[in-house]
Structure formats: C-alpha cells, structure tokens
Structure 1
C-alpha cells in the first residue's frame, strides 16, 4: 500500500493555507476503490484556483511566520555579537535611543524606528507561537468543536493576552503621571521632547503592534467589517507616528488606554460564547456595552473636546525652542520665518530636527482633531451594529457579534481515531483484502507550479485533516512542483529508473 498524504497547513489564524492531496487505494483485482471518509458527511471545499508565483510566495510567508521571525531575530542577534563594527547600528534594534543622563529621560527621533521594526517581527512570531502552542490546546480543552470556533478562539484570546498587558502598563503610566484624570495635564509643558523610558517603551511597542495588525487583518479571513478594521488600523498607526513625531505622547497614551479596555472585555465575551457559556456570555456582553459607552462615547469625546477647548489655552500658538523659550504667533515675522504656519515640517520635527524649534498652530490642532473624529465615526458605525446585538439579547436570543463574524459554512474538527482508520485501511479492511498502490503515468504536462493551496487529484477522494502544522512534505512539494501520484520518495526514484519501488 502506498499512501500519499499532505495535511492542510494553517496560518496563524487557522485558515486553510495548504493543500489537501488525495488518498486512494485499489484492490489487486482492480474492482474496488477505497475513498477517504468525511466525518458527518461534510463535503470537501471546492478546489482553489491555481495562483501565481507571487501568490505562492505570499502563502509561504504566511505559513512560516514563526520560522521567518526566529531567523530574522537570530540573524540580527548574531550580527550584533560577532561583528563589533556593526553594533553602532544594531544596538538601535535592542535599546531605547536618545538617553539623556542628566534628566534620566529619553528623547525621540529616527533611531527609534529600528526598535519598532524589531517588535513588529517579535509580534509576528509571538502571535503565531502563542496561538498554535498555547491557545489552540486551551481551546480544545475548553470544548471547541468547530474549525471556525477554534480560529476565533485563538484570535480573540491573543487580543486578551496583549491588551491586558498593554492596558495595565498604560494605566500604570497614567496613574503616576501629571495627566491622571487631568485633561489639562496632557497639554501643559508641551513640547515634551523627553519622556520616561517606560513611557517610550510603551509607546513604541504599541506602535509596532498596530502596524503588525495591518498585516494580521489581511492574513485572517475577511470579515464583514474588514474595511472598517483596516481603516481603523491605518488611522491608529498614522496617529501614533504623527503624535510621536510631534511630541504629543501624553494624549496618545490616554487614547490607547481608553481603547484597550474594550478590547479585553469583548474578546472575553466571545470566548465564553465559543465555549458554550451562553448565559455568562450575555452578562459579559452587558458589561462590554456599558464599558464601550463609558470609554468610547464618553471619555474619548472628552479628549477630543479637550483638544478643541483646552489645548489652545494651555498651548499658546507659537514656536518653541529646546531651551524653553517661545516666539508667539502674534510676532508674525519671526514666527513665519521659523515655519510656524507649515504643517508637515512641524509634525515630523522629531524625525527631522530634534533640537530645532517646533511650532504649534490651529491648522495642526484641527488636523489631529479631524483624524480622531474619523475614528469616532468608525466607532459609531460599530455601535449601531452593537445595538442590533442588544436587541437580540433583549428579545431572548444569545449575544452574537455581528460586527466581525465571517460568512461561510463551519465544519467540525476531524476525529483523530477516524483519521487513523482511514489512513491505514488494511487494519480496517474486512476479509483480509489485499491492497496495492494506484499506478499512474505522468508526463511533463502533468507538472504544475502552484500554490500549496491548490489540491492535486490522483484518482482518490481527499481526506481533510485539521492540523496546525503541515505533514512532512514530499520532494515534489518542497519546490512547489506537484507530481500527481508520487508522494513516496522511493517510489519516485523507481519511476525515473533510479530504484525499484517495493
């Protein structure tokens, strides 16, 4: 018996990224063909169209996120250790830059970008590792029975893990700051050219997380609110970039803490739903709705109002120098000479001229306010969807997040014992029937350069198996070339005359 199996490789979100080869056997008399069993009569998904080379490469990147992240980190770490001349550049990836020993604080600038890039790579590998090796087993212990449920459980649990840490750290920073429940504290003393090491670490890591989320939202299966989520991540990353370059980290920390709290409670309610605790889920959903109203439709508008009302009072329009002096906007000649009415040169001052003057004008204030109000518009759109869920709960139905559930049929996870029975039909065959491999002649035209997403057909019917890791690839699959009917290495050698198959 010759068996060819390729288990579907799943990406960090559990979506099928690999291929499903066919398993086929024939009796020696050629009368019968055994086909793979499908649990509960589930139909295999339709064959996915062949993709281009670029699609194949993108698929490989998605499948090997942990390996890519680990190799990049090892390369950077080993370069830093064994090449002393390179440490002048590599140390920026591992350490916070612009430390001032006199104030024990850190400045801001372009040298911080390598640190952000490092954490993007760290989050890429960490997310998949935690989801596959920790959250996946937890989901099965929690009674998750469907493939979509497993995917959703891991995604939401990862958000809980990250946002719990980020929200706790952000609240700690705020509690020990001048702007704890003090909106004026966000503006007095601007520009904040230097901040504490903890604040800088928090801000840069948050920035890296949201940049990585732009990639994640495209890796995961498309949801109903994909456009809103993608836009939200773009605007959030842009605000972090601009606020850091314009020394507005205080207001950024406040907004991040306001947003992170909801991203802990809502995923918690979803996990309860996936595990079947419908009643507790409804209670948690009520807590979520209350928290959403307080944070995103009370505290967040208060911050926006403070930008409009308090910022002009606490931050007089003018150009501010590093030594603390200021030229007011009313002194128009030197103010204009310093570029007081310019937008981008001032917004990017930390990246272009750390020690030069930085100017504050009403146009910049309204620009920040406009970006924040766009986020509020997206939040309001989501809130209308949440109200639909509230109506369902009040009408006696269970809470169900209509914002992000994807379309399509769900499938139950395959039973391992059933898979083993199908994978070894000799043990399950009755009457001692003797089996032999299916013989096929393969020409050059049968070779296809396809993505791993494209299943190949060799006379049998596919057996789909859920796995977080692909089965050991055959030599044909290693390069992306599919040779139908040639999964066994020894058999392949016999076909080309180098060995005789047994």
Structure 2
C-alpha cells in the first residue's frame, strides 16, 4: 500500500469530516486503496487481541487511579461491595455509551437504519445482495466491528479472572485469613459466562460470514439498556435513590423494547426473510470458492445463538421484574444478582480486609486441653483481707502485696 493512502471517510458524504487512519493500522485492516474498502484476513485476529489488551490495560488504570477518586467525590460508601461495584458500573457506562454513540453515528444514512424503530423493510437489507455485496467493509466500520470483538474478549478475560479471584477469596476466608483481596460475587455468574460466550460467538460468526449489517443493528440495540442499568446503579451507590428509581424504570422499558421486541424481529428476519432474499443457489457452504456461507446448518446456527440469547435475557427479565415489584411496593431498586451481602464478616478499612470481632462462644467438646485446664482452675474473688477461692479455701496474702492491692 502506498505511503500516501487516501484519507478515509464515513459513508454518508457531507455529514462528517474525513477520518484518516495510520498506514500501519490500514495494513492490519487489509485495506485496498484502489477500492477504498477492506477485506477479511488473519490480521483481524491480531487486531482484535490488541484491542482486547488495550481494554484490559485501560480498565486496570481507571480502576486504580480514577474511579477511587470519583467514588470519594460522589460519597460512595467505603465498603468492598460498593466500591467494587461502583468501579465496574462506571467502566460499563463508559464503554457502552461510547460504542452506542459510534455505532449510531455509523448507522446514519444506512438503508437498514430503520431497524432501530422496528420497520420491517429495514431488515430486508440484511440479505439483499448477500453475500456478494457484503464482503468488503469500510475501514472505519471494520475497525468498529473488531473493537466490539476486542471488548467482549476483554470481558471474557475479566470474568475468568473474577471467578478465580472469588475462589481464592472463599478459600482464604474459610482458612480464617483477614488480609484478603476483595473479590466480587455474582449469583448469575454462569449465566453471565454463557452470555459472554454466545456474544463472542455471534460477533465472530457474523463477521466471518459477512453478516455485519445485522450484527451492527444488534450491537446498537443491546447497548441501549446497557447504558441505563450502570447509570442507575451508579446513582444508587452515590445515594441518589429517587433518580436511581427513575433511571431504572427507563432501563426496564428500554430492555423490553430493544431486547424482547426489536431483537426478536432480528430472529424473525433470520427465520423467514433470509430464505426469501438469498437465492437458493447461494445457500450453501463454499467460503473459499464462490464466497457463499449461508447453508442450512448456518441458518440453524444463527437461530440457535439468538434463541440461547433470548433465554438468558428472559432469565434476567425475571430478575428485573422482581426489582420493579419491590420498587412499586415502596422499596429501592437494588442489584439482586449480587451475593456480596453474604460477606458481612469482612469490612474494608484503608483498602485492607479486616475481620469483625465476634462474640465469644461457649466452650465445647472440641476445645484444646489448655483451654479446659484453664477453665478448671479455681477462680478467685477479691475480699477485704485477701483472696477467697471458690473452692472454699483461704489463701493468705503477703503484707506487701496486700498493701499494693489496696
């Protein structure tokens, strides 16, 4: 590729300033300057992994140096659960807000943009001309798609790390250790792990099989609710309960509309429209020959992924309904997915775990001999002239000792 590659621009002409990308990045994206588009290559794996690593590094930096300052400024309680959740939700709010804004901008002027408000005609563009006119991507859009993949890969890494840390936390807690690094606990850990696996699979499969238009719509739809939920939680940790409840109500409405209506329309277009708009001669698997991907096995694979995703979303919808019912009855919106309240024996003071003192328990059969012998010794009761033993005997006290005690 020539060193003076033409600058890159968004698709809708005249709406955005031209965006230039470094030549090194253009090479990684497999950019063809004569066409102004990119094709897929094995470099895409490298780009996605590099983006995931950048997410991990940025997340760790913000967790250590930025989010604690925000937590102090917004008077978030200095408890392990509140501080950890506040940092997590702030990170999610930043990430999903950014991807939603960029994804929405990239969708302006696209013929399938009408999918965002449920117009059935927009979904037809997922399949019209497939796969011939879907193979090459605008460089900015391709970078956006790989960024989404890197984001979810980073999420998988963080979830695995969180699970390992929680196991270490529970093991150390059972051993009676006090200086234990905090580890978040989730009641829906395995459901979340399955969700991440399905999401990464959908991004990879949709990208490899040139179904990026449909993937673009799904990304933007899923980001809507993922903005309001972290915002509601942040408001709760900051002590703004009323605004938190209002934001949670907006989140609930956006969840139902985007994930149980508009996303269901995506499933419908896969089930019905794909078999109408893709010619029967192109419905076979030949990616390295004719460039065809959409066989009947792929058809059922897509439906299986989206069906699994819907089951998980319904599971979380049931949790959301529980919170809504609690709010209607006069309670506050809370994250019922967390089990951190089970860790009441551990508090955070100056970023160090310390165990709360417990009331002494009655001596039992499992005591050591030293404790038994100590309890068996005759206990003394002080009197005016000496020490009276409970055994009934009297013991004289030296005159100097008696004066010292008086």
CA contact (8 A) 1:96 1:201 kept: no
Tell me what 2:140 maps to.
198
Q: TM-score normalised to the size of structure 1?
A: 0.57
Contact kept in structure 2, 1:92 and 1:111, CA below 8 Å? no
User: Counterpart of 1:389?
Assistant: 323
Q: Where does residue 157 of structure 1 map in the other structure?
A: 90
Match of 1:132 among 52, 64, 85: 64
Look up the SS of the partner of 1:263 in the other structure.
Answer: helix
| Residue in structure 2 matched with residue 176 of structure 1 by the alignment | 109
Are residues 127 and 359 of structure 1, via their aligned partners in 2, closer, same or farther at CA, if it must alter by over 3 Å? closer
Provide the TM-score with structure 2 as the length reference.
0.70
In structure 2, what is the equivalent of residue 433 of structure 1?
Answer: none
Q: 1:131 deviation in Å?
A: 1.9
List 4+ stretches of structure 1 deviating above 4 A. Answer: 91-95, 410-413
CA positional deviation for 1:219: 2.3
Which residue in 2 is equivalent to 1:403? 337
Gaps of 5+ in 1: 1-90, 320-328, 330-339, 420-461, 465-502
Q: Which residue of 2 aligns with 1:209?
A: 151
Give yes or no for the alignment of 1:414 onto 2:346: no
Maintained 8 Å contact 1:266/1:288: yes
Identify the match of residue 276 of structure 2 among 313, 321, 332: 313
CA distance in 2, matches of 1:463, 1:280: 33
Answer yes or no: is 1:380 the counterpart of 2:320.
no
Range with greater deviation from structure 2 (226-235 or 308-317): 308-317
Aligned to 2:160: 218
Decide which structure has greater helix share.
2
What is the distance in 1 between the residues matched to 2:255 and 2:58? 28
Whether the 8 Å CA contact 1:92–1:115 is kept in 2: the answer is no
Determine helix, strand or coil for the equivalent of 2:342: coil
* CA separation of 1:407 and 1:316: change in aligned 2, threshold 3 A: farther
CA 1:95–1:154: 2 relative to 1, 3 Å: farther
The residue number in structure 2 matching 1:470 is: none
- What is aligned with 1:249? 212
How do residues 98-117 of structure 1 correspond to structure 2 at under 5 angstroms? Answer: 98-117=30-49
The residue aligned with 2:195 is 232
Tell me which residue corresponds to 1:123.
Answer: 55
Deviation string, structure 1 residues 402-454 (Cα, Å, up to 9, x no partner): 124535225554269xx9xxxxxxxxxxxxxxxxxxxxxxxxxxxxxxxxxxx
- CA apart distance, 1:276: 1.1
Could you tell me how far apart the structure 2 residues matched to 1:175 and 1:184 are? 17
* Residues 94 and 264 of structure 1, relative CA distance in 2, 3 Å threshold: same
Aligned length: 301
Q: CA RMSD in A?
A: 2.2
Which residue of 1 is the match for residue 370 of structure 2?
A: none
Once residues 413 and 237 of structure 1 are traced to their aligned partners in structure 2, the CA distance between those partners, rounded to angstroms, is: 35
Alignment of 1:136-151 (within 5 A): 136-145=68-77, 146-151=79-84
Confirm whether residue 360 of structure 1 aligns to residue 294 of structure 2.
Answer: yes
Q: Distance in 1 between matches of 2:155 and 2:339?
A: 18
Return the match for 1:259 from 222, 230, 236: 222
Shift of 1:120: 1.4
